[in-house]
Amino acid sequence: MQLIPAIDLRQGRVVRLQQGDYDRETRYDDDPVALAQRYQAAGAELIHIVDLDSARDGGEANLGVIGNICRGVDIAVQTGGGVRSLDDLRARLDAGAQRVVIGSLCVREPDTVAGWLDQIGPDAIVAGLDVLADGRGGWTPKAAGWTESGALELFALLARLSDAGLKHLLCTDIERDGMFAGPSIELYRTLVERHPGIRTQASGGIGSEADLEQAAQSGVDGCIVGRALLEGRVHLEAIQRWSR
């Protein structure tokens, strides 16, 4: 399993939100480019960047900073937030990102994303699905800052995207995001079992290196770690341990 450091951007600054709530923001003093370089020096092979301003309002709010990060490191970058059109996707690839995470549009318009997988290629696209347990053993994908529910249950949606060639999935259990509650192990085990051909990234809940051990046991290909790295709950040395 690969540890993937995350950098969340708001107005050009490094921040973290609790459960996606813009009113529950923690700001960090780190310069985003310097932070990415520090993660690279610690052994990271991929960095995950979220443009929170664009995720909420659309546009390219932090695209310049993302481009600076891409030019400032020699490792792969994946980025998401606010990708609502093919032009948005291409702008992020042109900025230097290797892969672009598509979230709400996967939930709202899976056929559109299926077309992009064919047009742009599956290596450049990550389905970023934020999900909530439905109380019946299933998972509901959410969109628009978790305010909308998708028409398709998680595994029905993944079946559609998998048929279109999806190779990369980033899945977040909303209830665990930013809460240090540990990873959603059963969710990830089921994802890996049902879609072994998709490279799944776990996200949400990592608060310690023991949580990383649990995530690895689920069989996921990668694990996103944001706040826990920023606050020293997971040490930089863990990046090298969980790199490959």
pLDDT digits 0-9 by tens, 2-54? 999 999 999 989 987 766 666 666 777 779 999 999 999 999 999 999 999 98
Handedness of CA 146, 2, 36, 183 (dihedral sign): positive
Selecting among 51, 130, 173, 211, the annotated active-site residue is 130
CA dist 58 and 168 (Å) reads 23
Known catalytic residue at 29: no
Interaxial angle between packed helices 110-119 and 154-163, expressed in degrees from 0 to 180 and rounded to the nearest 10: 30
Asked if 43 and 238 touch (Cβ cutoff 8 Å), the reply is no
CA dist 46 and 44 (Å) reads 6
What is the CB-side half-sphere exposure of residue 12 using CA atoms within 13 A? 3
The answer to whether residue 196 scores a pLDDT higher than 70 is: yes
CA dist 6 and 225 (Å) reads 6
CA dist 128 and 107 (Å) reads 9
Selecting among 8, 51, 53, 211, the annotated active-site residue is 8
The answer to whether residue 148 scores a pLDDT higher than 90 is: no
Q: Which has more pLDDT, 56 or 214?
A: 214
List, for residues 57-107, the tens digit of each pLDDT value.
777 889 999 999 999 999 999 999 989 999 999 999 999 999 999 999 999
CA dist 69 and 54 (Å) reads 17
The answer to whether residue 147 scores a pLDDT higher than 80 is: no
Q: What are the domain boundaries of the chain? A: 2-241
Q: Place 151 in a pLDDT band, splitting at 50, 70 and 90.
A: confident
pLDDT value at position 59? Answer: 77
List, for residues 200-218, the tens digit of each pLDDT value.
999 988 999 999 999 999 9
Q: What letter represents residue 66's amino acid?
A: I
CA dist 31 and 22 (Å) reads 20
Q: What is the mean pLDDT of residues 151-164?
A: 95
Both tokens of 222, joined, read: 């990668």
pLDDT value at position 174? Answer: 85
The region, left, alpha or beta by phi > 0 then psi within -120 to 50, assigned to residue 228 is alpha
List, for residues 111-143, the tens digit of each pLDDT value.
999 999 999 999 999 999 999 888 788 898 988
Q: What letter represents residue 131's amino acid?
A: V
pLDDT value at position 146? Answer: 65
Q: Place 178 in a pLDDT band, splitting at 50, 70 and 90.
A: low
Nearest to 97 by CA among 47, 58, 171, 59: 47
Is the pTM here over 0.85, yes or no?
yes
What is the CATH number assigned to the segment(s) 2-241? Answer: 3.20.20.70
pLDDT value at position 80? Answer: 94
Known catalytic residue at 134: no
